[in-house]
Structure 1
Amino acid sequence: MDADAALTTIVPLSPDRDAAVEDLLDRAFGPDRRLRTAYKVRGSSAPIASLGFAALGADGELIGSIQCWPVALATDNGASVSMIMLGPVAVSPDRQQGGIGRRLTEAALAAAERQGLAGAIMLIGDPEYYGRFFGFSAERTGGWRLPGPFEARRLLARGDAVPALSGTLGPDPSR
């Protein structure tokens, strides 16, 4: 961890930071971020408040955030399997590569574990990074379809309840 991450405080994400989070997401991912497949998977659902975290700089400024979303795999056999979608993990462009995103991810995964929600967590991301540090893999996601383009190797999951079934991933209608 570098000095920047050491001076960063990770706190629960509160609704009063919504506008700052939106600004951070635009800076980190660009104004076209809402066209990404991950946004289509989440649909219009609200993030899971207890799994959202903010990274605050020494001056209290928002420099990073992570949110998690309720999603479900509508399987080809008619079942629906609830999961958590991790991300986006956003860090201010001038603070990236300093360990802040890793600390945010650790906080969200630890909270999911404490709350009994860690059985099936998925994301779209870099398999080398998320596999090495957090145990995510594409081992059980090969039959999943998403409502937009994606690279199969980047569709990752972890947890004992991750289904190795074919189906379409989307918002969780039960939440």
Structure 2
Amino acid sequence: MNITLELPVHAAAIEKLLDSSFGPKRHTKTVYRLRKNVAPAADLCFVATDTDEAGNEVLLGTIRYWPVMLGNSVQALMLGPIAIDPAHRSEGLGGKLIRHSLEAAKALGHRIVILVGDAPYYVRFGFQRDLVASLSLPGPVDPTRFQGLELVEGALTGVTGMVGRAKPAKVRTAAVAVTSAAPRAAAKVTKLPLFAALPQGADLDSPVSRRRLRRAAR
């Protein structure tokens, strides 16, 4: 069994495992409101895999983390979802994924982790309900299942308010348009504004044409 960072090649198997573990309506849960239009923390999304008799990689488990904001000012991580293949749920694989990822999160400098899950299970990893008693979630959740963990002692002291989504990274529209377009289309976008400065049939090599092109390019 190996624990490695999640790769795009794992995506289909992960979605299948999550659907079988939580049902196809899992996206309607409150925690998914905090994940909408926000990318997971790629350096903290891990998979547990093994190899079958044919040498093919088999997904055994998955764990993901998402950036969130506490009280609109404090950065934190939200653990979940975590799912284990039913055939391997009695092997302690979930605990291995949680401990491995929490150690990685602490090494990367993260200070706070929150989650919504079964308290008797997560208490063994240090999660506590009272650490998030002054925080609320943007939707219905059993309060006993809302828990927090301080990766740095005192990180949740005095933190209050609503848990909100992290702000999506800004995308440079112009850069996306050029890289996503076909080479021929990109050439048209860059050349047309320049050559529009020249009269139809103009000699491109003439001194006048060159001066006009230089002015149009400024």
Report TM bin, short chain: 0.7 to 0.9
CA distance in 1, matches of 2:102, 2:50: 21
CA distance in 1, matches of 2:157, 2:164: 14
Which residue number in structure 1 is paired with residue 207 of structure 2? none
Does 2:144 correspond to 1:150?
no
Structure possessing the higher radius of gyration over alpha carbons: 2
CA distance in 1, matches of 2:28, 2:13: 20
* Cα separation, partners in 2 of 1:53 and 1:123, compared to 1, 3 Å: same
Question: Gaps spanning 5+ residues in structure 2: where?
Answer: 170-218
CA contact (8 A) 2:60 2:88 kept: yes
CA contact (8 A) 1:13 1:49 kept: yes
The structure in which a higher percent of residues are strand is 1
Stretches of 4+ aligned residues off by more than 4 angstroms: none
Which residue number in structure 1 is paired with residue 67 of structure 2? 70
In the superposition, the TM-score normalised over structure 1's length comes to 0.85
Does 2:160 correspond to 1:166?
yes
Letter in 1 for 2:118: D
Higher relative contact order (CA 8 A, sep 6+): 1
Deviation at 1:97, TM superposition (A): 2.8
Q: Quick one: which of 99, 104, 108 aligns to 1:106?
A: 99
In the superposition, the TM-score normalised over structure 2's length comes to 0.69
Paired residue secondary structure (1:103)? helix
CA distance in 2, matches of 1:22, 1:84: 21
* Cα separation, partners in 2 of 1:83 and 1:163, compared to 1, 3 Å: farther
CA distance in 2, matches of 1:86, 1:96: 18
Q: Quick one: which of 118, 122, 135 aligns to 1:126?
A: 118
Deviation at 1:126, TM superposition (A): 1.3
The structure in which a higher percent of residues are helix is 2
Question: Gaps spanning 5+ residues in structure 1: where?
Answer: 1-7
Letter in 1 for 2:159: L
**Alignment identity in percent?**
38
Which residue number in structure 2 is paired with residue 137 of structure 1? 128
Paired residue secondary structure (1:57)? strand
**Aligned residues: CA RMSD:** 1.6
Q: How many residues align?
A: 162
Deviation at 1:143, TM superposition (A): 2.2
* Cα separation, partners in 2 of 1:97 and 1:69, compared to 1, 3 Å: same
